[in-house]
Amino acid sequence: MPKNDALLVIDVQNDFCEGGALAVPGGSEVIAPINEMLKHSDINVFSQDWHPSDHSSFADVHPNKNPFEVVSMPYGSQVLWPRHCVQGSEGAVFHKTLNVNAAQLVVRKGFRTEIDSYSAFFENDHTTVTGLHGYLTSRSVKSITLVGLALDFCVYYTAMDARKLGYDVTVESHACRAIDLDGSLDAALTQMKNAGVVLK
């Protein structure tokens, strides 16, 4: 990859892989291609879902609500998820076969109790920043390649925010897997294409 390109590895954590609390079908299949791409990238950033145990996106903190129901939050609609990636838990750890040593920065997201964070750039209010844009700017990054989990949620929202911030964005689909919740994959692919994201 060119010197001013960054590889963003999104949420390759135990809870999103097989056997995890919010397993993405085929989640661990992304690891081998990601590890190969890390060998050829100079700027590597990992994101990590990092929720407090009482996080507002967990279905079990809402009486009479079930996972995958949608509720209204002050910042907009929010899918309620099974409890996952709780801070310090085994589920929140990066998958053991992922080359974590290649990461130069780990961006933790979703650690504020009252708001979820899909994108590695912003919380779901689209206002509260994670600091990733500042870091990439300081390293003169112009282009971003995205890989990881899940294609139709955290990868998608990161890609869309990156485009709004002016980056050239490529999503390497072979190194992503999707949840595909009620057509979310097709919707995400269409919106990414329309926003100028290159899908490979």
Active site residue 39: no
pLDDT in tens, 27-82: 999 999 999 999 999 999 999 999 999 999 999 999 999 999 999 999 999 999 99
How far is Cα 73 from Cα 78, in angstroms, rounded to an integer? 6
Specify the CATH number for the domain of residue 105.
3.40.50.850
The alpha carbon dihedral of 139, 142, 148, 154 has a sign of positive
pLDDT for the residue 3: 75
Q: Which helix (H) or strand (E) holds 63?
A: none
The number of folded domains in the chain is: 1
Candidate list 11, 15, 49, 116, residue with the active-site label: 11
Residue with tokens 């589920």: 91
What backbone torsions phi and psi does residue 154 show, to the nearest 5 degrees?
-70, -35
Give the pLDDT confidence score for residue 1 in this predicted structure: 72
What residues are paired with 47 via a beta bridge?
Answer: 10, 107
**Is residue 163 one of the residues assigned to a domain?**
yes
pLDDT for 143: 98
pLDDT by residue for the chain (200 residues), tens only, comes to 767 899 999 999 999 999 999 999 999 999 999 999 999 999 999 999 999 999 999 999 999 999 999 999 999 999 999 999 999 999 999 999 999 999 999 999 999 999 999 999 999 999 999 999 999 999 999 999 999 999 999 999 999 999 999 999 999 999 999 999 889 999 999 999 999 999 99
Task: Given the residues 15, 154, 161, 176, select the one marked as catalytic.
Answer: 154
Full residue range of the structural domain in which residue 162 is found: 5-51+83-199
Q: Do the domain assignments include residue 189? A: yes
pLDDT of residue 4: 81
pLDDT for 125 equals: 94
- Which of 109, 116, 152, 176 is catalytic? The answer is 109
154 is a catalytic site residue: yes
Give the separation between CA 92 and CA 17, rounded to whole angstroms: 11
pLDDT averaged over the chain?
A: 96
Domain assignment present for 75:
no
Please indicate whether residue 85 is annotated as part of the active site: no
What DSSP string runs through 12-60? -BGGGSTTSTTPPTTGGGGHHHHHHHHTT-SEEEEEEE-B-TT-TTBGG
Please give the single-letter amino acid code of residue 123: E
Q: Is residue 69 part of a domain?
A: no
Q: How far is CA 11 from the centre of its chain?
A: 5
